[in-house]
Amino acid sequence: MENYSQDQRLTKAVSDIQQAFLARVYGWMGLGLLLTAITSVYIFSSGLLPVIFQNRILFYGIIIGQFGLVILLSARIGKISATTAILLFVLYSILTGVTFSAILAIFLPESVFSIFLTTAGMFGAMSLYGYMTKKSLVGVGQFMIMGLIGVVIASVVNIFLGSADLQWIISFISVIVFTGLTAWDTQKLKNYAVTAITDNGISTQASIFGALILYLDFVNLFIALLNLFGKRR
């Protein structure tokens, strides 16, 4: 009975750590999405949209900056301070908001809002599944990574082809890919939670990195759904 009690206490301790870590991850992710939304609305409503998108140097600088920040956070997350990790994540969320402001110029606001709610529902359901399931999703995740590589290659090819049909196929596959990745990434973060504990509590850097992963799943799922079902102006 004593060993059983110890096992129960250990299981509960691990579960508490997982819940606390994911709560921090979702909190940072939510902040990132909020900053992206606020920035998008501000850029669109302030009239800065033409200034940014007509200046190619500025526009491509922002795009390169986004990719650079993702690479920097991914590669250096364990070697930078908590403050630096937060600032880089905040900056990335704001830069994404700048590029996302174009969405408000292309799609009807009510369509953007409804697709956002749909994305939130799908993301929440798959993230919950990834957290609750006892089945390993490693195989699913590896398959989705292969799908993601295919999506990236097809997207690059379609830059030159400009095919609407190919874009529809890319968006459709992207929905499947990022839906699956949401579940797998959530499970990975759940399993990673125990290693994110330091002498000072839950690692802020680990929380930020987890938030970045799920943030990317969310925004890419949102873009794919918007391309499929969004109503244009």
Q: CB-based contacts of 131: which residues, under 8 Å, 6+ apart?
A: 22, 186, 187, 190
Region of poorest pLDDT, from 14-23, 138-147, 190-199: 190-199
Judge contact between 222 and 115, C-beta under 8 A.
Answer: yes
- Whether residue 74 contacts residue 205, with contact meaning beta carbons closer than 8 Å, is answered with no
pLDDT in tens, 56-68: 899 899 999 999 9
Q: Where are the domains of the chain?
A: 2-229
Tokens linked to 225: 């759904």
Q: With bands split at pLDDT 50, 70 and 90, how would you rate the model's confidence at 200?
A: low
Is the pLDDT score of 11 beyond 80? no
Distance CA 33, CA 116 (A): 11
Nearest CA-CA partner of 33 in 87, 89, 83, 84: 89
DSSP class per residue in 52-76: HHH-HHHHHHHHHHHHHHHHHHHHH
Average pLDDT for 213-224: 98
Please state, rounded to an integer, the average pLDDT across all residues of the chain: 92
d(CA 232, CA 107): 4
Q: What confidence tier does 199 reach under pLDDT thresholds 50, 70, 90?
A: low
162: left (phi over 0), alpha (psi -120 to 50) or beta: left
Q: What is the rounded CA–CA span in Å between residue 8 and residue 194?
A: 16
Nearest C-alpha neighbor of 212 from the set 84, 30, 65, 80: 30
pLDDT number for residue 1: 46
